[in-house]
Structure 1
Amino acid sequence: MNSSTSNLKPPPKKNGERHTLSPQHELRLEVPSQTNVSVTLISGSAEIFGAELATFTSDPLKQTYLIAGHSKFAIFTWHGCTVDIDVEFGKEVEISYTSDETVANVAFVNTHAQLEAMRDEALMNATSGNGKSTDGPRVLVVGPADCGKTSLVKLLTSYAVKLGRTPLLVDLDTSQNMLCAPGTIAASPITPDSISPLTNASSSSLYPNTTPLVLWNGSTDLSTNPDLYKAQLDKLGQCIDERNHINDENPAEPEQQHILDARSSGIIVNGCGWIEDIGYKLMLHTVKALRINIILVMGHDRLYSMLNSHYNKMREAEMDVDMADILNEETVIPKVIKLPRSGGVVTRDATFRRVSRSQCIKRYFYGESIRNPNSAAVMSNSNPMMPIAGSDPNEKVLDVICPPSTTLIHQYTPTRLEIPFSDLTLYKLSNVSLSSSMLPVSAKQATDPVQLTPMNITATLKHSLLAVCHPNAAEQYDNSGEARDLYLSGISGLVTVDKVDVDREIISLLSPGGSLPSSILLVGDVTWME
Structure 2
Amino acid sequence: MTDSTKESTKEFTLERDCELRFEIESKTQIIVELKSGFAELYGTELVKAKKYTFIQGAKVAIFSYQGCVLVIKGTPDVCYIARETPMIQYLNTHSAIEQMREKADERGTTGPVTLVVGPTDVGKSTLCRILLNYAVRLGHRPIYADIDVGQGSISIPGTICSLLIERPAHIEEGFSQLAPLVIHFGHKAPDFNNELYKICVSTLADITMERLKEDKRTQSSGVIINTCGWVKGQGYQHLLHATKAFKAGIILVLDQERLYNELLRDVDSSVKVVFLPKSGGVVERSQQARAESRDFRIREYFYGSRSPLYPHSIDIKWADMKVYKIGAPSLPDSCMPLGMKAADNMTKPWPIQPGPQLLHHILALSFAENVEQDVLKKNIWGFVCVTNVDVERQTITVLSPQPRPLPNTVMLLSELQFIDSH
TM-score exceeds 0.5: yes
Which residue of 268, 274, 278 maps to 1:337? 274
SS at match of 1:240: helix
Distance 1:37 1:163 in 2: 30
SS at match of 2:380: coil
Aligned-pair CA distance for 1:14: 4.2
Spell out, residue by residue over 1:70-119, the C-alpha distance to the aligned partner (whole angstroms, 9 max, x if none). Answer: 121211111111222223xxxx42211111011x1100000000000000
Aligned-pair CA distance for 1:34: 2.8
In structure 2, the residue matched to 1:187 is: 162
What are the within-5 Å matches in structure 2 for residues 43-442 of structure 1? 43-56=36-49, 63-87=50-74, 92-102=75-85, 104-126=86-108, 134-192=109-167, 195-200=169-174, 207-245=175-213, 259-311=215-267, 314-315=268-269, 333-370=270-307, 410=308, 412-431=309-328
In structure 2, the residue matched to 1:493 is: 382
What are the within-5 Å matches in structure 2 for residues 450-489 of structure 1? 450-470=347-367, 473-475=368-370, 477=371, 481-482=372-373, 485-489=374-378
SS at match of 2:173: helix
Aligned-pair CA distance for 1:39: 1.7
Aligned-pair CA distance for 1:368: 2.1
Q: Given residue 189 of structure 1, which amino acid in structure 2 is its aligned partner?
A: L
Count of aligned residue pairs for this structure pair: 414
SS at match of 2:229: coil
1:520 aligns with 2:410: yes
Check the 8 A contact 2:144/2:162 in 1, yes or no: yes
Distance 2:256 2:333 in 1: 33
What are the within-5 Å matches in structure 2 for residues 4-23 of structure 1? 13-23=6-16
Spell out, residue by residue over 1:100-148, the C-alpha distance to the aligned partner (whole angstroms, 9 max, x if none). Answer: 011x11000000000000000000011xxxxxxx111100000000111
Check the 8 A contact 2:116/2:226 in 1, yes or no: yes
Q: Given residue 317 of structure 2, which amino acid in structure 1 is its aligned partner?
A: P
Spell out, residue by residue over 1:398-455, the C-alpha distance to the aligned partner (whole angstroms, 9 max, x if none). Answer: xxxxxxxxxxxx2x21111111111111111115777678899x99789575011211
Q: Given residue 39 of structure 1, which amino acid in structure 2 is its aligned partner?
A: V
Aligned-pair CA distance for 1:348: 0.9
Distance 2:243 2:310 in 1: 39
Aligned-pair CA distance for 1:244: 2.8
Q: CA 1:179/1:466 → structure 2, altered by over 3 Å: closer, same or farther?
A: same
Q: Given residue 367 of structure 1, which amino acid in structure 2 is its aligned partner?
A: G
SS at match of 2:324: strand
Q: CA 1:138/1:437 → structure 2, altered by over 3 Å: closer, same or farther?
A: farther
Which range moved further: 224-233 or 498-507? 498-507
Q: Which has the larger radius of gyration?
A: 1
In structure 2, the residue matched to 1:373 is: none
Distance 2:43 2:63 in 1: 9
Q: CA 1:358/1:310 → structure 2, altered by over 3 Å: closer, same or farther?
A: same
Q: CA RMSD in A?
A: 2.2
In structure 2, the residue matched to 1:328 is: none
Check the 8 A contact 2:154/2:177 in 1, yes or no: no
Distance 1:220 1:446 in 2: 19
Q: CA 1:110/1:419 → structure 2, altered by over 3 Å: closer, same or farther?
A: same
Q: CA 1:297/1:438 → structure 2, altered by over 3 Å: closer, same or farther?
A: farther
Q: Given residue 525 of structure 1, which amino acid in structure 2 is its aligned partner?
A: E
Aligned-pair CA distance for 1:16: 3.7
Q: Given residue 110 of structure 2, which amino acid in structure 1 is its aligned partner?
A: D
SS at match of 1:185: strand
Distance 1:33 1:500 in 2: 35
Check the 8 A contact 1:135/1:263 in 2, yes or no: yes
Distance 1:445 1:427 in 2: 19
Q: Given residue 517 of structure 1, which amino acid in structure 2 is its aligned partner?
A: P
SS at match of 1:354: helix
Which 5+ residue runs of structure 1 have no aligned equivalent? 1-11, 57-62, 127-133, 201-206, 246-255, 316-332, 371-409
Aligned-pair CA distance for 1:199: 3.0
In structure 2, the residue matched to 1:397 is: none
Q: Given residue 115 of structure 1, which amino acid in structure 2 is its aligned partner?
A: I
Aligned-pair CA distance for 1:198: 1.1
Check the 8 A contact 1:218/1:523 in 2, yes or no: yes
Check the 8 A contact 1:139/1:293 in 2, yes or no: yes
Distance 2:365 2:146 in 1: 20
Distance 1:306 1:165 in 2: 32
1:36 aligns with 2:29: yes
SS at match of 2:293: helix
